[in-house]
Amino acid sequence: MNVLEVRDLRVEFPTHRGVLTALDNVSLSIRPGEILGVVGESGAGKSMTGLAVQGLLEPPGRIASGSVTLNGRRIDTLSDREMTRIRGREIGAIFQDPLTSLNPLFTVGAQLVETIRQHLPMSASAARARAVELLAEVGIPAPSERVDHYPHQFSGGMRQRVVIALALAARPSLIIADEPTTALDVSIQAQITALLRRLCAEHGSAVMLVTHDMGVIAETADRVAVMYAGRLIEIGEVAQVTRDPQHPYTQGLMGSIPALGARVPRLEQIDGSMPRLNAIPPGCAFNPRCPQAGPRCRRERPELFTAGAEKAACWLLEGGTA
Amino acid sequence: MLVFILKRLVNAVFVMMAVAFLAFAIFQVAGDPVEMLANEQMSQVDRDALRDRMGLNDPMPVQFMRFVGNAMQGDFGMSYRNNQDVIGLIAERFPATMELVLVATLISLVVGIPLGILTAIGRGRWYAEGLQFLSIIGVSLPSFVVGIMLILVFSVILGWSPSFGRGEVVDFGWWSTGLLTPSGRAALVLPAISLSLYQITLIMRLVRAEMLEVLRTDFIKFARARGIPRHRIWFRHALRNCLMPVVTMTAMNVGALIAFALITETVFQWPGMGMLFIQAVTFLDFPVMAAYLVIISFIFVVLNTMVDISYAIIDPRLRSAR
Ligand SMILES: Nc1ncnc2c1ncn2[C@@H]1O[C@H](COP(=O)(O)OP(=O)(O)OP(=O)(O)O)[C@@H](O)[C@H]1O
Ligand code: SF4
Ligand SMILES: [Mg+2]
């Protein structure tokens, strides 16, 4: 059974100038212990997907249709109170900026103990011992002293380790890591990614890893999902997608990576930029920039078509021509 | 840090000198003090002797320095009205004003903070918007109107509480308190409510604004993602981060309340410093007016300086830089 199963997810933001569709037709799944990388340009909807899964969409944003299933249980229909019991317990989260993720007025120990006791039936002293263990596990030196320190007494990299400890505190089966290294110094990014991969392997947690860094995807992820303008356009095994991308957008993405470890730049090879949510063209959202676009691409929207072990949303995969 | 404190102190001294100059100037425009003190039968020789004894023939700067020197020792001369020590008159009235102000401050915190939280977390709901609307009225109602309405309803119509005076008081050394007798407490209720109303709306609006600000921060979102329940996020994580500005504003406003108390004291015939000042104005009792001005300003300046300095001490960045 998949840990996470997202089906045809559609997220809308009603505004006074009409309804914005932030996510449309997003379907993806993650198996136990698997790491799914999610890539795409800024504004493609990567964070939004993670938030929708966690039930953390900012009102008035809402899931308009589709479903989210966690370990066989449908969770997109749960109340916020019920989701509170799932967040932190079954889904751990890691945010982008460790400098702002922790409450400055509480020690890291207090925040760990709070999270542990929220989800697990433990005495205060047992939770504290567990907090020290967790800090040791994420590689913080002298954890029994550090547990009583405030966030501002840690460096950025150390703070992200604390955030990882918080995400893992209740041994969730799914971790959603939204650009966990983007805000960090380049020299420690690799360490943090490696730590995350090792811990999730040890705990058997599945991971949804949002990143801009195709190098991280290549090194860390098992499968990769590519997003564009709020839609999932390609998903498949990392090796396959990087070697033989099916969607013209992904081909452009891969073409723009000079070497492993390089960040995804704006797509210089492909003219133009991703459309805004209120100006997504009809048909295939990518058609104004696509070198292979045909008349059908401007009229009809492509489904995810299966191409070998991968799927991509492009008319080329259906009949060979667009 | 030390430089900062020194700067603040120098600043405070300058402000006090300016105030002292103003107070001193009152005497210069007020007319001849000798005429005020002298009685009809006094001969010109006696008057000249008195003028000389009071140092009124000295050059202006010398007179000013003497005024400052005396004021620093708490010597503001004799009241024109009843030949009592001015400082003694003020000391007699000081406890009444302070008790009124402190109780009003307490009320404004106890009522204002929960209202602020309520209007922040219920934003958009009818009760929150209603309270927000009422607070606008609260800010714009002149405090004498509030006082008179309270007297009308609770003293005149309902007869629940006295409409003037301080009730029975108990003396502790030079401090007299009305808090220990039933009549003293009853007499305090209406003036304190009347004085606190404006302050309640200020605190409510400040807490609301701060709460809304804090609730948008990453660490609150991360706390939600960790599965911390709402009430805990509001009252533990968010509120704590709002309290600092509330405490500083409250401390600074004690000075303002002492000054505002003048109106409340007049309406309720409360025997405090404000009443003393109003009486001094009607009797052209310039030494009392000058002393009131200097002492009120002194309290203002001391509070502001203390708040500024404590802000710097509490700010963690300054704290760890030490
Ligand atoms: N509260 C909101 N109301 C309306 N639109 C929103 C709101 N929040 C986000 N969006 C839009 O939703 C889209 C998806 O945003 P999202 O944050 O998921 O992008 P992302 O892929 O994570 O980008 P980045 O790489 O910059 O983090 C963006 O176009 C954004 O402008
Ligand atoms: S559907 Fe058409 S426009 Fe879209 S990517 Fe495929 S070829 Fe290009
Ligand atoms: Mg994002």
Q: How far apart are CA A317 and CA B251, in angstroms?
A: 70
Is residue A316, in this structure, part of any structural domain at all? no
pLDDT band at A187 (very low <50, low <70, confident <90, very high): confident
- The answer, yes or no, to whether residue B316 has pLDDT greater than 70, is no
User: Exposed, middle or buried by CB within 10 Å (0-12, 13-18, 19+), for A180?
Assistant: buried
CB within 8 Å of B223: residues ≥ 6 apart: A103, B233, B237
- The answer, yes or no, to whether residue B34 has pLDDT greater than 80, is no
- Taking the CA of residue A102 and the nearest CA in chain B, the distance in Å comes to 5
Determine the 3-state secondary structure of B39 from DSSP: coil
At residue B317, the pLDDT reads 53
pLDDT band at B100 (very low <50, low <70, confident <90, very high): very high
- The answer, yes or no, to whether residue A12 has pLDDT greater than 90, is yes
User: Domain coordinates of chain B in residue numbers?
Assistant: 91-285+298-318
Average pLDDT over residues B58-67: 83
Is residue A57, in this structure, part of any structural domain at all? yes
Count structural domains, chain A. 1
On whether the CB atoms of residues B226 and B156 are closer than 8 A, the answer is no
Q: Is the CB of A45 under 6 A from ligand 1?
A: yes
CB within 8 Å of B11: residues ≥ 6 apart: B305
Determine the 3-state secondary structure of A4 from DSSP: strand
pLDDT band at B321 (very low <50, low <70, confident <90, very high): very low
Closest CA to A9 of A59, A58, A69: A69
- The answer, yes or no, to whether residue B319 has pLDDT greater than 60, is no
CATH number of B91-285+298-318: 1.10.3720.10
Average pLDDT over residues A308-316: 88
CB contact under 8 A, A100 and B217: yes
Is residue A273, in this structure, part of any structural domain at all? no
Is residue A76, in this structure, part of any structural domain at all? yes
Strand positions, DSSP E, chain B: 170-172, 175-177
CA distance to A67, B282, B287, per residue, from B76 (Å): 79, 19, 6
A87 chain-B contacts, CB cut-off 8 A: 224-227
At residue A175, the pLDDT reads 96
Ligand 1, atom 19, residue with closest C-alpha:
A43
- The answer, yes or no, to whether residue B173 has pLDDT greater than 80, is no
Query: Out of A2-11, A145-154, B1-10, B290-299, which region has the weakest mean confidence (pLDDT)?
Result: B1-10
**Where are the alpha helices (H) located in chain A, listed in sequence order?**
46-54, 80-86, 98-101, 108-119, 124-137, 143-146, 156-168, 186-203, 214-220, 238-243, 248-255, 295-299, 316-319
Query: Out of A180-189, B231-240, B307-316, which region has the weakest mean confidence (pLDDT)?
Result: B307-316
Mean pLDDT of chain A: 90
A118 chain-B contacts, CB cut-off 8 A: 226-229
Q: Is the CB of A50 under 6 A from ligand 1?
A: no
Interface check B318 vs A, CB under 8 A: no
Pocket of ligand 2 (CB under 6 A): A 247-248, 284, 286-287, 290, 292-293, 297, 302, 314-316, 322
Is residue A318, in this structure, part of any structural domain at all? no
Is residue A272, in this structure, part of any structural domain at all? no
Ligand 2, atom 1, residue with closest C-alpha:
A314
Instruction: Tell me the pTM.
Output: 0.80
CB contact under 8 A, A104 and B224: no
At residue B106, the pLDDT reads 94
Is residue A181, in this structure, part of any structural domain at all? yes
At residue A271, the pLDDT reads 67
CA dihedral for B100, B101, B104, B110, sign (positive or negative): negative
Is residue A297, in this structure, part of any structural domain at all? no
Q: Which of A286, A296, A301, A303 to mutate to test the pocket of ligand 2 (most atoms within 8 A of CB)?
A: A286
Residue B78 β-bridge partners = B85
Q: Which domain holds residue A229?
A: 4-256
CA dihedral for A191, A192, A193, A194, sign (positive or negative): positive
Q: What is the ipTM of this complex?
A: 0.90
- The answer, yes or no, to whether residue A300 has pLDDT greater than 70, is yes
Average pLDDT over residues B2-7: 82
The CATH number covering residue A189 comes to: 3.40.50.300
CB contact under 8 A, B228 and A86: no
